[in-house]
Amino acid sequence: MDATTVTQTAPEAVNYFRYLLDISYLIAAALFILGLKRMSSPVTARSGVVWAGWGMVLATLVTFLAPQSLGLQHAQLGTNLLLIIAAAGTGGALAWVSGKRVAMTDMPQMIALYNGMGGGAAAAIAAVELYSGEATSHGPAVAVLAVVGAFIGAVSFSGSLIAFGKLQGLIKKSFRFTGQQIINLLVLAGILVLGAGLVAGQLAGTPVVTAFFVLALVLGVTMTLPIGGADMPVVISLYNALTGLAVAFEGFVLDNAAMIIAGTVVGSAGTLLTQLMARAMNRSLGNVLFAGFGESSSAAAGTAVTGTQKSIEASDAGVAMAFAQKVIIVPGYGMAVAQAQHKVWEMSQLLIDRGVNVKFAIHPVAGRMPGHMNVLLAEAGVPYDIIADLDEINAEFETADVALIIGANDVVNPVARNDKSSPIYGMPILNADKAKNVIVIKRGQGQGFSGIENALFYLDNARMLYGDGQKAAAALIAAIKSVS
């Protein structure tokens, strides 16, 4: 074959690989979307994760092949490919080990951390484009997308790290000071000025790009530090949405269809989830970000709760549930901390064997991340058909003989219905107080994450079973078994 034939054949080979690349990305996109659809149901969620995972594997593999297939020389890519493979292998190994070892109680902070890594990766891509000047050389549209993606990715990265620190207990308080919002606005204004200068080409160079990224990272920190722990489910969802958007924008910059589709899917799903979480708390996103709810200082707000908490022994509580016709169990973060989900399900099986109608009631913001309680119950083997969300289960509390609260607090606080001065007034809650009897498993008389006293604990039909969740569930199991 002579040189002329090779010259004519090479473009055809490049076009062939382009078609192969486009088809592969289309298949990967279909797997992403179908996987996300299957994740919407607990029954098919596991397979949905697998489908989306295979879509990502396919997109990653064809992206590795793309540079050479488009006619670039191997010598130009060898070093970079080795570095990419080494980084991907190291990251994959760390993720595999940490994913296997992480406790279910630590899953929220792991999600926050990994989500931050996604935002950081998008910001890093933008940094390469902006430092090299490639983004601005392709026209204003690409420059805008690169700058916006860099901004969103950097905010998501630093904000997610702060969320991780709060959930992990490394940051034990929320930091607020006078004029904090004004400072945030000034930082945002600086970011907008620098970003506009980069897009217009009036500002350029390493110092400007560096200042832009530093301010974006600072904004992520200053936005997240004041937010209390009660709002972490919303914060995690928000930064998940931001990471997706950042990835999609950088996908446009790199002309990578897989990044565009995956980022758009994650961004839209995260946005919808954030709206769901905020609506479940009857609050706007702006209120979550800027009102400072979730800090213990809010305990002074609202009408003071009067009365005393009345305790109950595990033996009496077990007997009450053994002879009940319907028991509704409301799990919360305390169940996760105590790792009590397996004991709770063992107890539920004993009740079901006795003919008791047992159901689990899940509030959208129970726990530290969206779906936290569903994941815990699935881990313990609880059937999906006896798990119900707030809208499905609330009407049944009035016919329940016992509502068993284990580790939940704010999501069952009746002041949300009747105390207009309470910070959680108007938040949809589980109507556990309307059950004939309420048994609350709790370590002590402390308040919930919001710092608000729970009026449910003082009602005439409520009894407190103090102690560790797992030990209390074990004691209830023994009591139920003792009933003939």
- As annotated, the active-site residues are 410
For residue 311, give the DSSP letter. B
Phi-psi region of 133 (alpha: psi -120 to 50; beta: other; left: phi over 0): left
Structure tokens at 355: 């003919």
Q: In whole angstroms, give the CA distance from residue 343 to residue 203.
A: 62
Q: In whole angstroms, give the CA distance from residue 192 to residue 269.
A: 27
- List, in sequence order, every residue forming a beta bridge with 309; answer none if it has no partner: none
3-state DSSP percent of the chain in helix, strand and coil, to 5: 70, 5, 25
Q: In whole angstroms, give the CA distance from residue 254 to residue 266.
A: 18
* Tokens 């979730």 belong to residue: 294
Nearest residue to 414 via CA among 427, 405, 399: 427
Q: In whole angstroms, give the CA distance from residue 462 to residue 453.
A: 15
* Angle between helical axes of 74-101 and 45-69 (0-180°, round to 10): 160
Nearest residue to 68 via CA among 22, 112, 17: 17
Backbone angles phi, psi at 449, to 5 degrees: -60, -30
How many helices and strands (H and E) does the chain possess? 18, 6
Q: In whole angstroms, give the CA distance from residue 232 to residue 365.
A: 9
